[in-house]
């Protein structure tokens, strides 16, 4: 009887604190769980300059060469999206030991100056190009918002090594393949 109560208490604690946990680590992959993006104030950008597309094209670019439709994985839940591809450098690059690749989907404000992160996945990598794969709920996206896919590569100390300079609009396809070009 006491064990049953302990299990019930642990279950309730997990259910009620699950929303408060910001990250989950599975193997070598860290998944940052988003809060309800409709109730999140956009995060301020760092003091570093933000590259934005030239006017008047104020939205991230999406072209046929960037995102292509693919067959969705058979275990992809209804209403979810799958995005996969490679994080690619201009040439074959061997990364320093302990390097991590971070791929994120960010909600952009209309002026592209402010971002809040919808989904962020971080994983170890030894070289570029390296594959990535994301699965996320399309129901949690705000219909009026613009979402962009961003990739960054950090060394062991967290120093930025590579990032994509062009914002790429997150595809509205159920399953898509998109390579992300990064540079110094």
Buried b (16+ CB within 10 A) or exposed e, 72-99: eeeeeeeebbbbbbebbbeeebebeeeb
Range scoring the smallest mean pLDDT among 14-28, 79-93, 132-146: 14-28
Q: How many alpha carbons fall within 13 Å on the CB side of residue 80? A: 12
Instruction: Go through the domains of the chain in sequence order and give each one's CATH number.
Output: 23-35+65-181 (2.60.40.2990)
pLDDT above 80: residue 21 = no
Quote the pLDDT of residue 4.
47
Quote the pLDDT of residue 113.
56
Instruction: For residues 15 and 61, give the distance between their C-alpha atoms in angstroms, rounded to a whole number.
Output: 39
Quote the pLDDT of residue 7.
43
pTM of this prediction exceeds 0.85 = no
Q: pLDDT, tens digit, for every residue of 34-46?
A: 543 333 333 333 3
Q: pLDDT, tens digit, for every residue of 118-168?
A: 899 999 999 999 999 999 999 888 888 889 999 999 999 999 999 998 888
Quote the pLDDT of residue 116.
84
In 10 A of CB 160, how many CB atoms?
12
Percent of the chain past pLDDT 70, that is, above it, reads 62
Q: pLDDT, tens digit, for every residue of 55-73?
A: 334 455 544 347 888 999 9
Q: How many alpha carbons fall within 13 Å on the CB side of residue 54? A: 0
Q: What is the DSSP letter of 154?
A: E
Q: What is the DSSP letter of 3?
A: H
pLDDT above 70: residue 101 = yes
pLDDT above 60: residue 17 = no
CB 45 within 8 A of CB 113: yes
Q: Please confirm whether the linkage preceding 94 is cis (ω < 30° from 0).
A: no
Instruction: For residues 33 and 158, give the distance between their C-alpha atoms in angstroms, rounded to a whole number.
Output: 20
Quote the pLDDT of residue 28.
53
DSSP string covering 112-136 = SS-EEEEEEEEEE-SEESEEEEEEE
């Amino acid at each position: 009887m006491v064990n049953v109560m302990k299990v019930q208490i642990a279950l309730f604690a997990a259910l009620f604190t699950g929303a408060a946990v910001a990250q989950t680590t599975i193997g070598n992959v860290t998944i940052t769980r988003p809060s309800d993006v409709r109730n999140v104030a956009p995060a301020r950008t760092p003091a570093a300059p933000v590259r934005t597309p030239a006017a008047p094209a104020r939205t991230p670019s999406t072209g046929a060469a960037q995102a292509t439709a693919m067959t969705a994985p058979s275990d992809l839940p209804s209403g979810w999206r799958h995005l996969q591809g490679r994080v690619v450098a201009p040439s074959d690059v061997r990364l320093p030991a302990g390097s991590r690749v971070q791929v994120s989907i960010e909600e952009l404000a209309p002026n592209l100056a402010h971002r809040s992160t919808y989904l962020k996945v971080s994983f170890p990598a030894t070289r570029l190009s390296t594959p990535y794969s994301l699965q996320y709920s399309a129901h949690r996206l705000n219909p009026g918002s613009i979402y962009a896919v961003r990739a960054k590569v950090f060394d062991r100390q967290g120093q930025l090594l590579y990032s994509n300079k062009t914002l790429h609009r997150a595809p509205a396809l159920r399953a898509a393949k998109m390579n992300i070009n990064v540079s110094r």
